[in-house]
Structure 1
Amino acid sequence: MVHKADLVIIGISVGVAVGLLVALLIFFGIRWYKRRAHLRQCANERSVSVLPIRTNGLDTSFDTSASLSSSVTVRVSDYPAKNPQSSWWSHHSKDRFASASGIPNYPYKDIQRATQGFTNVLGQGSFGPVYKAIMPAGEVVAVKVLASNSKQGEKEFQTEVSLLGRLHHRNLVNLVGYCVDKGQRMLVYQFMSNGSLANFLYSEEKRTLTWDERLQIALDISHGIEYLHDGAVPPVIHRDLKSANILLDQFMRAKVADFGLSKEEVYDGHNSGLKGTYGYIDPVYISTNKFTMKSDIYSFGIILFELITAIHPQQNLMEYVNLAAMSPDGVDEILDTKIIGECNPQEARSLAHIAHKCLHKTPRKRPSIGEVSQAILKIKQRRLVKEDTMSFVGEEVSGVLNRIERQQTELRKMASIDERAAE
């Protein structure tokens, strides 16, 4: 009898142990599954895409990871085509994307009304028309319509909203909303009334930028890039810096725009092709297919020389720069003729010296964007001090002349009194 009781106790103990073991296995299995699902979701939300092949032409970006044979010119009509069967944006993905970005998603009809039926055209972008719009609250914005039949365009759209949803700086163009409705993908930006830097440098219809404006624009751009490289967490590499992507507000202050090619520095995906704009691309990136912050520095160096010379990178800018580098004052020969006489040659040489450092063939020898900002700021400060000094000297000379004039007046009065007394 005792023997049977022992067997029963042992059996119960074994059963309890097995039950506990099974329960633990189930518990850890569920935890593992949930953790894996969470990591997968995070990876999907943090994935960063790149910009596609763009229509060939001046200032166009490209992506050689796609087949060049499939690159075609797409005619964009005045009204965005409706494509309700877009498979990328399901209802679930739209909701998840909106909540992740924190940027308002406007209905199609609101954008249509704000752009006056898509008739208020500002210009033609690489991926479609850009419209001026007045939102219900009275805010003036720019609406960029992406091609509805481009899968790569959808990736650019996702990149822009994902990044600009968390990037905010006075020298970045703010994304104030987007539209994912009726098969359309539209980006709503703050309105930049003076357009792009490229238009001011190369369009005959625009007035000439003063040297002081060019220095301020260079400083503004550097501050925008500095925020991307040193202020954003994680840091962001723009990857398509060019004068066409620098926009100017009503006060001629510059802001960096177009983040379709941008990626977070921690992104470790495999790059399978060259991306960017001819004339601005770091030669080291071309040879290694590795884009770093120093590649952004190279592109900024090109923009600095654009500000100095008003010569487009796709019109042999670097040949002129290399020739000018043969003598200390060689930059004087390639200075924009429209500002000769107004521009201080020494300041132009100093800015060219900074640009040359940005273009150093060895990336690690290029300065950081913080160092570039400080160097440009010093040029601005020296200019302001000189202006203040000249103003002070001018005021002193004016004061002396006024005193001499007052003294002469007093002397004439005294002489007049003496003459009357003598009579």
Structure 2
Amino acid sequence: MSATTGGLLVLIIFIQVSISTSQNTDRVALQALKHVWQGTPLSWDEGTDPCSGGWVGITCTNSRVTSIILSSTGLTGTLPGDIGQFTELQILDLSFNTGLRGSLTPAIGNLAKLTNLILVGCSFNGPIPRTIGNLERLRILSLNNNGFSDSIPATIGNLKNLYWLDLSANELTGSLPVSDGVQPGLDNLTHAKHFHLGDNQLSGVIPPTLFNANMSLIHLLFENNHLRGSIPSTLGLVKSLETIRLDRNSLRGDVPSNINNLVNVTEMYLSNNLLTGPIPNLTGMHLLNYLDLSNNSFSQSDIPSWFSTLESLTTLKMRFTNLAGELPAALFSIPQLQTVDLSNNRINGSLDISLDPSTQLELVDLRTNLISDFPGSRQYTMDYLILVGNPICTESDMMGQKFCNLPTITPAPYATPWNNCAPPPCGSDLVASPNCQCAYPLVGSFFFKAPAFSAVTNLTIYDSLHNLLMSFFRNATLPVDSLSLSNPSRNLEDYLVIKLQVFPSGQPSFNRTGIIGVAFSLSNQSFKPKTDFNTYTFNAEIYKYFSDSGPGGAKRKTSNTGIIVGSAVGGCVLVVLLVLAGVYAVRQKGRAEKAVQQSQSFALWDPTSQSGGVPQLKGARSFTFEELRKCTSNFSETSMIGTGGYGNVYKGSLPNGQLIAIKRARQGSTQGGLEFKTELELLSRVHHKNVVALIGFCFDQGEQMLVYEYIVNGTLKDSLSGRSGIRLDWTRRLKIALGAARGLQYLHDLADPPIIHRDIKTNNILLDQRLVAKVADFGLSKPLSDVNRTHVTTQVKGTMGYMDPEYYMTQQLTEKSDVYSFGVVMLELITARNPIEKGKYIVREVKQAMDKNKELYNLHDVLDPTIGLSSQLKGLEKFVDLSLMCVEERGNQRPSMSEVVKELESILTFVGLNPGSEPSSSTSASYEGVGKDYSHPYSNDSLFAYSGGFMPQKLHPK
């Protein structure tokens, strides 16, 4: 054999071995995913080769895995680092699996050939890894509707081929990254057409360098964040733009004068900001369908001349914009006009709608203006006009006119009609399809973020959407028999929400292959609606009814080929399994050693110290000092979020991405040691959604640390004082009061043993990302023993202003002491005042100001002015009555916490709220500024708590 031939043979063998090794790597990685995930398809249990064995959701090319698509299949678990082994992977879609959680592994950056990364509607959290910037072939990046936090990684600017960027509906903070010569930024994404970053907590200014004339953007969606500063004039350079949403931020200053350069814009939302200066000149924007400039502080301006020249307009919303002057009749003759909302301005003179008004008009809202004349008003019979609050409606002969009274608007319901058949009765969870077949549909909701129309009652447009969807599913040869659209409505973000049900073809339920096909077509934006509906996101519910037949169901018979293949790879698989078994054994040994370590965690505890005996725990995790040091970058100053007499508090991130708050006692602090033991023992026993969760502790290298869940929105005190930037309206305060009361009731009635908190105050009530209240800080708490279930005789401790006067006088601590403190919290909720302020005590001030014979008990002067208008404070009198019952002088005259909870539930029902529902993170109208970084609640404001000794008499409540 010649040297050349021998070398060629060696090269061939090397290539074959390399290919075989890569194939085995994919198989091992898939087995690792199967080990981590629950709910994988049954076909994954058949054979060891996913490429020849037909594993559902796996596509291979040349025996290498090139796509993993498992959307809406009910997966649970985390995304392990093994995902980084699929070096040929091009598509990864795990959308609509809410059971997938934890952080996004940095190993995702190893997928160099990935073009589509789609993780819509899962439960991933923690930061988006910087390594995502390594995916230079990526075209679609959809991480929306998760819980991702921290800032947008600047490395996304490396994704030069990106077409679709959707990070909306997460908990992202920080500023928008732009290139600075050192790091890349979003301005580098000149080929991207979609920036969807709305419904986050992004802050800072919109950098002028974010926009440039080379960009291809058509959708810019930054709505519902905390962006401030002015709208940069460079926005006018991006002439490809079609949709702009900058609403629900804190943008200030003038709208750039060159905004009308964007002649391709069809939808523009700038509402609910702090914009000033002149109303922007939109002359020439002839494609504009939907315009909302409402709730800004523009300087008073006459009606703009462009009002009646935008011939494509369907919707004009400019309430609270300081408009003045007389409306041109031509405005109402724009052919497609559906909605005009110019309420709460200074529009005056005569109203003329006589010139052939648009046949599509559904609403003209001109309430609270200065209109004094309406020619032909007595012959005017249309339902869509509102003139309440104008001078014309004060005239005696006009008061009975329909337009001088607020209408009761009940949108016409819509549902896809039956297809010339009678719907049959369907049992269990079966649903009748439009073709009158009982089946288990895939259910989800479309969120159209910038539709070209406002009239949700225009039923023909939904028929059009139905036909477009059905044509798409048929052309894609997906197993869809029929579909139903229903319940169109506008939510608080002004998105059009429509429920979708997709019914399977030929059988009562989908198999996994069918579900994957339908879900992927929507998560991957393969379905393109016509321009009326514009951009959308789709969120599917978990599908539980997979059929037992077909590729996703019952196990297939193994063919002879399968046996041969199985035999051929059996040896390799056996080796792999032995390796995995060895790794598993090592891990189990590590876990066992860790368990032993936890049981011995307090070997160095000094029972003779003031902290008492060794803590008795139920399930708290033991952390080493080294683990927590890594979580906090060596307890760096940038990680520190609070400080106090107990010590410092640090924000950290566990390896799985979970955010934590670490309360670290100062060395040698005996008071800290006692609080450490008390909180550790009590919180390891309690588990309730309205009580802050203890994750673990560290008693290592002389350190005493408590590890809690990180509560992103801080303390109730910070929100009431304005430090957090969160604005709490009346209904939100009611829900917070109920949540905190439920937490306290749990401690009193259901904890074993019952617990008296002893330091209830607004600094010890935390608000999570949904503004759900959580009771925190158990350093002063006392359990009630079986021997004495009524009270504990103990040294007086607590916080002045919240302290029960009976407990102070008798030193007998009871559950009613917490009730008293909670009553003070209730008064603080309505006044936003400190319990003791300038020598005045909140309880006494409210009692002295009260007059039950007057509106709102005559408490207008002490109410928090940001709580809402007087007309919105329904149930306030009942709330005040309950709070004053809680702060009765004698404990036996106060209600129990269970009685407080029942009364608060009754108040919520009275004001029309569901006491059983949790607040939604999407209800942005109820609060602002969520998630800002500031002094953290775990800084233990009990440091200023009263711990016995002299209590100044002037602060004692009377």
TM-score by length of 1: 0.66
Aligned to 2:726: 207
* Distance change in 2, residues 1:345/1:270 (3 Å): closer
Aligned to 2:901: 373
Q: CA deviation at 1:161?
A: 0.8
Find the partner of 2:801 among 265, 268, 279. Answer: 279
SS in 1 for 2:743: helix
Q: CA deviation at 1:92?
A: 6.7
* Distance change in 2, residues 1:257/1:385 (3 Å): closer
Deviations 1:289-314 (A, max 9, x none): 11100110000000000111101112
Deviations 1:388-409 (A, max 9, x none): xxxxxxxxxxxxxxxxxxxxxx
After TM superposition, the structure 1 = structure 2 runs for residues 374-413 of structure 1, keeping only pairs within 5 Å, are: 374-384=902-912
Is 2:660 the counterpart of 1:141?
A: yes
Q: CA deviation at 1:265?
A: 1.5
Is 2:906 the counterpart of 1:363?
A: no
Which structure shows the bigger proportion of residues in strand conformation?
2
Q: Is the 8 A contact 2:823 2:883 kept in 1?
A: yes
Distance 2:860 2:815 in 1: 30
Aligned to 2:625: 108
SS in 2 for 1:284: helix
Distance 1:270 1:296 in 2: 13
Q: Is the 8 A contact 1:239 1:296 kept in 2?
A: yes
Deviations 1:198-228 (A, max 9, x none): 1111134523211111000000001000101
Q: Unmatched 5+ residue regions in structure 1?
A: 1-87, 387-423
Find the partner of 1:321 among 825, 846, 859. Answer: 846
Which is further off, 351-360 or 99-108?
Answer: 99-108
Aligned to 1:288: 810
Q: CA deviation at 1:365?
A: 1.1
Aligned to 2:775: 256
Is 2:866 the counterpart of 1:344?
A: no
SS in 2 for 1:218: helix
Distance 1:284 1:176 in 2: 35
* Distance change in 2, residues 1:126/1:301 (3 Å): farther
Which gives a bigger RCO, structure 1 or 2 (Cα 8 Å, sep 6+)?
1
Distance 1:348 1:333 in 2: 14
Is 2:817 the counterpart of 1:304?
A: no
Find the partner of 1:195 among 691, 705, 714. Answer: 714
Q: CA deviation at 1:273?
A: 2.7
SS in 1 for 2:696: strand
Distance 2:891 2:649 in 1: 36
SS in 2 for 1:100: coil
Q: Unmatched 5+ residue regions in structure 2?
A: 1-600, 608-612, 915-958
* Distance change in 2, residues 1:379/1:343 (3 Å): farther
The one-letter code matched in structure 2 to 1:320 is E
Deviations 1:353-410 (A, max 9, x none): 1000001112111111111111111111122269xxxxxxxxxxxxxxxxxxxxxxxx
Q: Is the 8 A contact 1:241 1:300 kept in 2?
A: yes
Is 2:784 the counterpart of 1:265?
A: yes
Distance 2:893 2:872 in 1: 28
Aligned to 1:117: 634
The percent of aligned pairs where both chains have the same amino acid is 37
The one-letter code matched in structure 2 to 1:91 is L
SS in 1 for 2:707: strand
SS in 1 for 2:912: helix
SS in 1 for 2:813: coil
Deviations 1:87-131 (A, max 9, x none): x9643779x957733211101111011011112122224412211
The one-letter code matched in structure 1 to 2:897 is I
Q: Is the 8 A contact 1:298 1:358 kept in 2?
A: yes
Distance 2:846 2:811 in 1: 25
Distance 1:333 1:195 in 2: 28
The one-letter code matched in structure 2 to 1:290 is Q
* Distance change in 2, residues 1:216/1:183 (3 Å): same
Distance 2:792 2:892 in 1: 22
Distance 1:343 1:143 in 2: 44
Q: CA deviation at 1:180?
A: 0.7
Q: Is the 8 A contact 1:332 1:349 kept in 2?
A: no
Q: Is the 8 A contact 1:331 1:352 kept in 2?
A: no
Is 2:736 the counterpart of 1:217?
A: yes
After TM superposition, the structure 1 = structure 2 runs for residues 86-97 of structure 1, keeping only pairs within 5 Å, are: 90-91=603-604
Aligned to 1:419: none
After TM superposition, the structure 1 = structure 2 runs for residues 148-167 of structure 1, keeping only pairs within 5 Å, are: 148-167=667-686
* Distance change in 2, residues 1:270/1:333 (3 Å): closer
Q: CA deviation at 1:320?
A: 1.7
The one-letter code matched in structure 2 to 1:322 is K
Distance 1:336 1:382 in 2: 22
The one-letter code matched in structure 2 to 1:344 is Q
Deviations 1:6-33 (A, max 9, x none): xxxxxxxxxxxxxxxxxxxxxxxxxxxx
Q: Is the 8 A contact 2:624 2:698 kept in 1?
A: yes
* Distance change in 2, residues 1:205/1:218 (3 Å): closer
* Distance change in 2, residues 1:98/1:240 (3 Å): closer
* Distance change in 2, residues 1:101/1:310 (3 Å): same
The aligned length equals 298
Distance 2:605 2:809 in 1: 41
Distance 2:717 2:868 in 1: 20
The one-letter code matched in structure 2 to 1:100 is L
Q: Is the 8 A contact 1:101 1:161 kept in 2?
A: no
The one-letter code matched in structure 2 to 1:103 is A
Deviations 1:58-95 (A, max 9, x none): xxxxxxxxxxxxxxxxxxxxxxxxxxxxxx9643779x
Q: Is the 8 A contact 2:793 2:813 kept in 1?
A: no
Aligned to 1:244: 763
The one-letter code matched in structure 1 to 2:808 is I
* Distance change in 2, residues 1:345/1:367 (3 Å): same
* Distance change in 2, residues 1:250/1:239 (3 Å): same
After TM superposition, the structure 1 = structure 2 runs for residues 27-42 of structure 1, keeping only pairs within 5 Å, are: none
* Distance change in 2, residues 1:264/1:331 (3 Å): same
Q: Is the 8 A contact 2:794 2:813 kept in 1?
A: no
Distance 2:880 2:742 in 1: 18
Q: CA deviation at 1:152?
A: 1.8
Which is further off, 333-342 or 234-243?
Answer: 333-342
* Distance change in 2, residues 1:159/1:372 (3 Å): same
* Distance change in 2, residues 1:153/1:371 (3 Å): same
Deviations 1:220-259 (A, max 9, x none): 0010001011111221110000000001100000000001
Q: Is the 8 A contact 2:784 2:792 kept in 1?
A: no
The one-letter code matched in structure 1 to 2:625 is Y
Distance 2:656 2:893 in 1: 49
The one-letter code matched in structure 2 to 1:308 is I
Aligned to 2:703: 184
TM-score by length of 2: 0.30
Distance 2:792 2:852 in 1: 42
SS in 1 for 2:758: coil
Distance 2:871 2:673 in 1: 44
Q: CA deviation at 1:272?
A: 5.3
Distance 1:211 1:270 in 2: 36
The one-letter code matched in structure 2 to 1:117 is N
Cα-Cα RMSD? 2.4
The one-letter code matched in structure 1 to 2:619 is G
Distance 2:822 2:616 in 1: 34
SS in 2 for 1:276: coil
The one-letter code matched in structure 2 to 1:265 is L
SS in 1 for 2:879: helix
The one-letter code matched in structure 1 to 2:863 is L
